[in-house]
Structure 1
Amino acid sequence: MSTRTNTSTVSATSTAPKKTGGGRPALTLPVILLIVAGGLALVSLVRLISGAEDITSVGQVAGALELAIPIGLAGLGGLWAERAGVVNIGLEGMMVLGTWFGAWAGFQWGPWTGVLVGILGGCLGGLLHAVITVTFGVNHIVSGVAINILAVGATRYLSKYAFDGVEGGSTKQSPRIGSITEITVPGLADWMATLQGKHWFLISDIAGIIGGLVTNLSLLTLFALLLIPATWWILWRTAFGLRLRSCGENPVAAESLGVNVYKYKYIAVAVSGGLAGLGGAFLAIVSTGIYQEGQTGGRGYIGLAAMIFGNWMPGGMALGAGLFGFTDSLKLRGGAENVHAMLLLLAILLVLAVAWQLYKKKYVPAAVSAAVSVLLFVWYGLTDQVPSQFVDAAPYVTTLLVLALSAQRLRMPKADGMPYRRGQGK
C-alpha cells in the first residue's frame, strides 16, 4: 500500500509545476540560464566601461571556481540536511574536520586517500550532529555551534601529535600534501585565451569563462561540479529523494506512509557532513596543498548563505556559491581596481531593481534602492579605487546584500529545524 502511494506521489511531484512558497516559479534550469546570460552581459558592459579587463579573464574565472567549490560543497551539504528537516549550523566545524583529516591522510598515503578520509572526517561530525538532534532532540542551532567549537579544539589538539615534529609540519600546519592531477583541454584552452585577450563585448567574456573551465582543472574540481546535478537527480527524481524530502516537509505524514524518518534524517545529515568534509579536504589538498589552522575562514557559514540564497535548490545554491567565489577572487586579482568596477555593476543592478519595484508598485523600497544607486554612481565617478578595508570586506558585504535582496522569495522546508519524535502523530 505504501509503495503504491509513494510511487503515485513521485509521479504527481514530477508532473506538477514547480512553485516556491509564495506561488512564484522556482529556479528551474531555463530560469538559471537566463539569469546567468543576463548577468554575463551586464558584467561585460561594466568591463568595457570601467576598463577592468581582468574581471572575466581565464585566470579570474579559474580562481573564482577554485574559491567557489568549497563554499558550494558546504552549501550542498546544508541542502541535504535541511531538506530532511535538520538545520546544520555545524557545517563550518565539519569542514574543519575535513581539512585536518584530509591533510593527515594525504601527506602519508597520497591526495586521493586524503580526500576519502576527509569525507569520513566530515561524516563523523555529521553523525554526531544527527545523534544529538535526531535521537536526543537537542536544539539544532545549539548542536551545530557546539560541533563548530569542538572541531576547532579537537583538530588543534590532534595537530600536536600528528604534525608537530614532522618535517614541514607544526602544531598549526601539516607537511606538504601531494597534488591531484590537473587537466587542460589542448587547443581549446589556447583558443579561449586568445579570444579573451581580444576584449570583445560578451564574446571575450564567454571565452574567459570557458577557458577557466578547461585550463588546469583539477579532477577533484570536476567531481565536485558533478555532485550538483547528481544531488538534484537523487533528491528530485528518485523515490529515495522523495522520502527524504518528505521528512523535511511533514515527518508525521511520512511516517504514516511507512517512511523510517529517523533513518532518512541520519542518512541526510551524514551525507551533509561528508560533503562539508569534502569541501574541507579540497581546501587543504587542492587550494593550498597544506593544512593550516583556521583555513576554512567561515566558508561553512557562507555555504549556508549560498544555500539559502538558492532557495534550498542545487542550481540556485550553485549560483550563490559562484557569486561569492567570484567576489572573493576579485579581491585577490586586481584588488581595488576590480572591486571599484563592481561598484558600477551594483549601481546598475539597483537601477534594474528600482524598475522592478516600481512595476510591482513597491514605492518605498524603490525610493531606497534609487537613493543607494545614486550614491554608488557618485562614489564610482569621484574615485579611482576603493579603500583596502572595503576590498577585504567585499565577499562578506556581498553575502549580506544577496541575502537581503533574495529574502522575499525564500521558502524553507516546512519542518526544517522542528523537533520530531517517532510515533508523535498517533
Structure 2
Amino acid sequence: MSASGLKTDQAPVEPTATAGRFKLTWRLLLIGVAALVFLLAVTRFVTGAVDLTSGGAINAAVALAVPIGLAGLGGLWSERAGVVNIGLEGMMILGTWAGAWGAIQFDNPWAGVLAGAVGGAVGGLLHAVATVSFGVDHIISGVAINILGLGITQYLSKVTFAEMPGGGDTQSPPVPKPGVVSLPWVGEALADLEARHWFLISDVAGILRGLTTNVSLFTILAILLVPLTFYVLWRTAFGLRLRSCGERPVAAESLGVNVYTYKYVAVVISGALAGLGGAFLSLVASSAYREGQTGGRGFIGLAAMIFGNWRPGGLAGGALLFGYTDALQLRRGGESVHALLLLVAILLAAVAVHQLVRQNRSRAALLTGVSALAVLVAFALTDTIPPQFTSVTPHITTLLVLSLASQRLRMPAADGLPYRKGQAK
C-alpha cells in the first residue's frame, strides 16, 4: 500500500472480536435502558422517593452530567492518541474563567462558549508541548497543568473581574446565559401523568419531562459532540490514524502517519472539550465564574472515560450515572440516596448472578453477593442517610463503578508510553 496514509482494511489498531466476546448492540442497549427504568420505578414505588424519577431530578442530572461528559470526551481524544491527560481539571478551570470573561466582554453567551474552548485548548497545547515535544512524563505534566490553571485564573480574576461592578477577586459579575428549549405541548401532559405517581407510567413521564423541558442549548451541543466524536474517531481515516498513534505509533509512522501532528491535534482538542465543560459550569450551571467551581469534575470525567472503556457511548453512560447521583444528593439528599441503596443492592445481586452463571467466577460472585446483602441490610436498618455522607455520593459512586468495571477495561496499548520518531519497535 501507499505510505501516504493508513487504510481501514490494513493494520487494524484494535484486536478483532473473538467468539463469545460481548458486543453492545442497539437492541441490548434499549433492553438495558428499559430494565433500568423498570428498576427505578420499582425502587420509587417501594420507597416512596419520588425524586428518583422526577422531571426535576432528571433535568438536573443531565445538566450535571454535561461538564463531566465533556471532560471525559477530552480525555478520550487525548488517550486514544496515546497521551494520558491528568490535566483535564486544570483545563476545565481555564475554561470556566475564559467562558465567563468571553460572555461578559462580548455580551454574548456563545462568545463565552468559544472563549471557554480556546482557554481549555491553550492548556491542552501546553500539555502537548511538554509531553509530545519534550517527552515529559504525562502524569507530571498533567499535575503541573492543574496547578498552573488554578494559579493563572486566580491572577486573571484579580486583574479583570475585581475591577468590574458585581465582580471580585474570586468571582465574576453575572454572565449572560444560553437559551433553553422545550418540546411544545408535551410538558403539561407529562407533568400531569408524573403527579399521579402511577407505577412505571408516571416514572416514564417524569423521565421524559426531564429530558424535554427547559433544556439548555449548550446541553444539546454537548450531547451532539458524543456521536460526532464516535463518527470522527471510528468512521473516518483521520480517526483511524489518530487511534493508531495510541495503539502502535511505530507502525503508524512506518505507514506515513505523522504521529507528532496527530498527538498534538488530539491533545489540543482534548483541552478544548475540557474547556467547554468548564464554560458550561460558569455559563449554564451557575450565573457567574467562581473560584473552585469545577469541584474535581475533571477527575470524575477521567473516571467516566475509564468506566466507558475509552468509548464515547460508555463514557456518556458513566457521566449520566455520576450526574444522576450528584443530582439526587442535591435534591432531598438523605431520602433519595437512601432509596438508591435498594437499587444498588438489586444491581449487585444481578452482577453476582451474572458472574456465577455466565462467567463461572464463583469467588467474585460470592464477594459481590455479600456486598449486595450488606447494602440491603443497611437499607433495611436505616430510614435516611446523614447529610454529611450524601455530599460524597458521586465520589463513592466513582469508586464503586470503577471497581466493578475493572475486569473488562482495555486502554490503548501505547497510552502514556514515550514515543520518539524513528524509534525501534
TM-score > 0.5, shorter chain as reference: yes
Aligned partners of 2:13 and 2:248 also within 8 Å: no
Change (3 A) 1:11 1:369: closer
Structure 1 counterpart of 2:411: 412
Quote the offset at 1:384 in angstroms: 1.0
Quote the offset at 1:81 in angstroms: 0.4
- For structure 2, the residue ranges without an aligned partner over 5 or more in a row are none
Matched letter for residue 95 of structure 1: M
Q: Using the alignment, how far apart are the partners of 1:267 and 1:203 within structure 2?
A: 47
State how 1:42-57 maps to structure 2 within 5 Å: 42-57=39-54
Structure 1 counterpart of 2:102: 105
Q: Using the alignment, how far apart are the partners of 1:394 and 1:137 within structure 2?
A: 38
Q: Using the alignment, how far apart are the partners of 1:71 and 1:286 within structure 2?
A: 14
Structure 1 counterpart of 2:325: 327
State how 1:269-308 maps to structure 2 within 5 Å: 269-308=267-306
Structure 2 counterpart of 1:313: 311
Aligned partners of 2:226 and 2:316 also within 8 Å: yes
Change (3 A) 1:261 1:28: farther
Q: Using the alignment, how far apart are the partners of 1:339 and 1:279 within structure 2?
A: 26
Within the alignment, does 1:209 sit opposite 2:210 as a pair? no
Q: Pick the aligned partner of 1:197 from 195, 198, 214.
A: 195
Quote the offset at 1:399 in angstroms: 0.4
Structure 2 counterpart of 1:173: 171
State how 1:4-43 maps to structure 2 within 5 Å: 6-9=6-9, 24-43=21-40
Change (3 A) 1:310 1:27: farther
Q: Render the CA deviation track for 1:106-156: whole Å, top value 9, x for unaligned.
A: 112121111101100000000000000000011100000000001001110
Aligned partners of 1:32 and 1:315 also within 8 Å: no
Work out the percentage of aligned pairs sharing the same amino acid.
57
Aligned partners of 1:10 and 1:242 also within 8 Å: no
Q: Using the alignment, how far apart are the partners of 1:89 and 1:403 within structure 2?
A: 17
Q: Using the alignment, how far apart are the partners of 1:308 and 1:101 within structure 2?
A: 27
Q: Using the alignment, how far apart are the partners of 1:36 and 1:18 within structure 2?
A: 24
Quote the offset at 1:24 in angstroms: 2.9
Q: Render the CA deviation track for 1:23-65: whole Å, top value 9, x for unaligned.
A: 7334444443332222221111111111111111110110000
Q: Using the alignment, how far apart are the partners of 1:149 and 1:252 within structure 2?
A: 33
Structure 1 counterpart of 2:2: 2
Structure 2 counterpart of 1:82: 79
Structure 1 counterpart of 2:234: 236
Matched letter for residue 2 of structure 2: S
Change (3 A) 1:169 1:23: farther
Structure 2 counterpart of 1:361: 360
Structure 1 counterpart of 2:335: 337
Quote the offset at 1:350 in angstroms: 1.4
Change (3 A) 1:114 1:186: same
Change (3 A) 1:423 1:320: same
Within the alignment, does 1:424 sit opposite 2:423 as a pair? yes
- For structure 1, the residue ranges without an aligned partner over 5 or more in a row are none
TM value normalised by structure 1: 0.95
Change (3 A) 1:232 1:29: farther
> What SS does the corresponding residue of 2:9 show, helix, strand or coil?
helix
Aligned partners of 1:29 and 1:315 also within 8 Å: no
Aligned partners of 2:178 and 2:218 also within 8 Å: yes
* Greater mean deviation of Cα atoms: 344-353 or 405-414: 344-353
Aligned partners of 2:13 and 2:243 also within 8 Å: no
Q: Using the alignment, how far apart are the partners of 1:289 and 1:239 within structure 2?
A: 41
Aligned partners of 2:6 and 2:252 also within 8 Å: no
Matched letter for residue 365 of structure 1: A
Change (3 A) 1:8 1:280: closer
Aligned length: 423
Quote the offset at 1:165 in angstroms: 2.8
Change (3 A) 1:338 1:190: same
Pairwise CA RMSD: 1.9
